[in-house]
Amino acid sequence: MSQIGSIDCGILATYQGKLDQHIKDPYSNIDAIADAEAAKAVLENQEVNVSIITGSKKRKLSVEWLTNCNITTESCSDDCTINGVDATPECQEYEIVCLRESAFKMAKRAYRERTYEFNDAFLFNMLSHKKALDEWLAGYIITGLSTNATPNLFTGGEGTVVGNVTNISAQHWNDNIWGYFNRVTRGNKLKSPYLLTGDNLFRYIFNRQHESATEAGKAGMAKMGTISRIYQDPENVEAIAPASTFLIHKTAAAFLNKAWNPLGATNAIAEAGVYTLWSEPSSNIPGVYYDIIAQETCSDNEFYLAVKVQLHGVFAANPAACDNGNGILRFACV
C-alpha cells in the first residue's frame, strides 16, 4: 500500500531558514559552489527588456533589442524642418522550455540511524542538485556562444579568420594579445566588450596577477585592464569549445530565464493534492531561478520525500545587431 500527499509546511519553513543562512554565507557549504563563470559572464552583462506574453498556452517571452542601424548624415537644411526616424525596438518571441532537470528521493526513516539530520540533508541535496544545473547551464551558454559566433571583421594582425573562428598561433598568446584584441574591438565596432576564456591566457593571467608588484606585472595588468571584464571558466570552455576565447559585445547575448512557481519555499502551493510547487534562486548565478516540484509518498513501510529541480529558459543572440555581425567573436589557440 502507498500513499501520496503534499509536504508539511514546517519542513519548508525550516528549509527556507537554512537556505537563507546559506545565501548569507555561501562558504557554510563549500561543496555547493559551482564552476559556472560562463553563465555569470552573460547574465551580468546582458541588456534586454523582457515581458511575458499572455493569452498563450505556451510559455513565451517577448524580448526587445533596441536598434537603429541606418543613421545617416546630410547637408544642413532649413531649421524649421526636422525629419528622421526613431530607434526601433526589434521584438523577438522566445518560447521558454524546460532545458534540464535534476531529481532526488530521500527515505525519511533512514535518518533515524544517521548522524545527519533530515533537514540538513535536504538542504545539502537541494544545493547539490542546483549546483549541477548551474554547471550544466554554463556549458549550455558556451554552446550558444559558439553556435552564434560571427566572422571577425578585422582580418589583420596575429589572427587568421577561418569562417566564424579566428585562429591565433600559440606564441602570440602573450602581452601583445591585448593590443590585438583592442584592434579587433575597434574593427568590429564593439563597445565595452567582455572576454570569456578557458585555458587560453589562464596561466598568463595567474602570473600577471601575482607579479603585479614587478614592472612586467604592472605593465601586463595595465594591458589586461583595457578589456573591462575578463571571465575565466576553464572547466566548461575546455569541455565545450576547447582552446577557445570569446570576445562579446554587451548587447550581443542573453540567457532568458523564467521560474513559474511562487518564489520561496514558504510561499509554496499545493497542486492536485499531490505535489508542492515553489521556485528559488541559484546559489551561484545571480539572475537564475529554478522551479521546484516536491512530493511526499509512502511505500513499503517507508516515507519518502522526492524532489525535482527544473531549469526553464533559452539562450538568445541579438537578432538586430548592426555592422554585419552580432558581436560574438570566437578565437582559437592553434
Q: Considering the domain boundaries, does residue 73 fall inside one?
A: no
Q: Considering the domain boundaries, does residue 82 fall inside one?
A: no
Of residues 4 and 177, which shows the higher confidence score? Answer: 177
pLDDT at 1: 33
pLDDT at 56: 47
Whole-number CA gyration radius for the chain: 24
Q: Considering the domain boundaries, does residue 81 fall inside one?
A: no
* Phi, psi for residue 150 in degrees, rounded to 5: -120, 165
What distance in Å separates the CA atoms of residue 223 and residue 182, rounded to the nearest whole number? 10
- Span 253-276, mean pLDDT? 91
Of residues 75 and 131, which shows the higher confidence score? Answer: 131
pLDDT at 135: 97
Q: Count how many Cα atoms sit within 13 Å of the Cα of residue 237 in the half-sphere of its side chain.
A: 23
pLDDT for 321 beyond 70: no
Domain count, the chain: 1
Query: Sorting pLDDT into bands at 50, 70 and 90, what band is 8?
Result: low
* pLDDT tens profile 181-230: 999 999 999 888 999 999 999 999 998 888 878 887 888 889 888 998 99
Query: Sorting pLDDT into bands at 50, 70 and 90, what band is 107?
Result: very high
Q: Identify the domain containing residue 241 by its residue range.
A: 1-68+87-334
* pLDDT tens profile 278-319: 999 999 999 999 999 999 988 888 999 999 999 999 999 987
Query: Sorting pLDDT into bands at 50, 70 and 90, what band is 5?
Result: very low
Q: Considering the domain boundaries, does residue 74 fall inside one?
A: no
pLDDT for 85 beyond 80: no
* Phi, psi for residue 100 in degrees, rounded to 5: -165, 155
In sequence order, what are the residues at sequence separation of 6 or more whose Cβ sits closer than 8 angstroms to the Cβ of residue 254? 42, 46, 47, 48, 63, 315, 316, 318
Q: Considering the domain boundaries, does residue 281 fall inside one?
A: yes
Percent of residues, the chain, with pLDDT higher than 90: 55
pLDDT for 54 beyond 50: no
Q: Considering the domain boundaries, does residue 2 fall inside one?
A: yes
pLDDT at 69: 62
**AA letter at 278:** W
Residue pair 276/294 in contact (Cβ under 8 Å)? The answer is yes
Helix axes 215-224, 202-210, angle to 10 degrees: 130
Read off the pTM: 0.86
Cell matching residue 190: 564593439
Q: Considering the domain boundaries, does residue 330 fall inside one?
A: yes
Query: Sorting pLDDT into bands at 50, 70 and 90, what band is 66?
Result: low
Kind and range of the H or E element at 184? helix 177-187
What distance in Å separates the CA atoms of residue 151 and residue 326, rounded to the nearest whole number? 9
Q: Considering the domain boundaries, does residue 109 fall inside one?
A: yes
Mean pLDDT of the chain: 87
